[in-house]
Amino acid sequence: MPSNPRGSLVIRRGQRQDVPLILRFIRELAEYEKLAHEVAATEADLEETLFGPRPTAFPLIAELDGAAVGWALYFYNFSTFHGRPGIYLEDLYVTPTARGHGVGRALLAELARIAVAEKCRRVEWAVLDWNAPSIAFYESLGAVAMNDWTVYRLTGAAMERLAGESGRGASSLPYRPTPS
Nearest to 70 by CA among 126, 33, 108, 42: 108
| CA angle (135 as vertex; 129, 136 as ends), nearest 5 | 140
The residue extents of the domains of the chain are 9-167
C-alpha R_g of the chain: 18
pLDDT in single tens digits along all 180 residues of the chain: 444 556 799 999 999 999 999 999 999 999 999 999 999 999 999 999 999 999 999 999 999 999 999 999 999 999 999 999 999 999 999 999 999 999 999 999 999 999 999 999 999 999 999 999 999 999 999 999 999 999 999 999 999 999 888 665 555 555 566 655
Nearest to 125 by CA among 110, 111, 106: 111
- By the 8 A CB rule, do 81 and 90 touch? no
Q: Active site includes 138? A: yes
Catalytically annotated residue among 32, 93, 138, 152: 138
**Could you tell me the pTM of the whole model?**
0.86
- By the 8 A CB rule, do 130 and 93 touch? no
Strand partners, 68: 63
What are 116-142's pLDDT values in tens digits? 999 999 999 999 999 999 999 999 999
Superfamily of domain 9-167: Gcn5-related N-acetyltransferase (GNAT) (3.40.630.30)
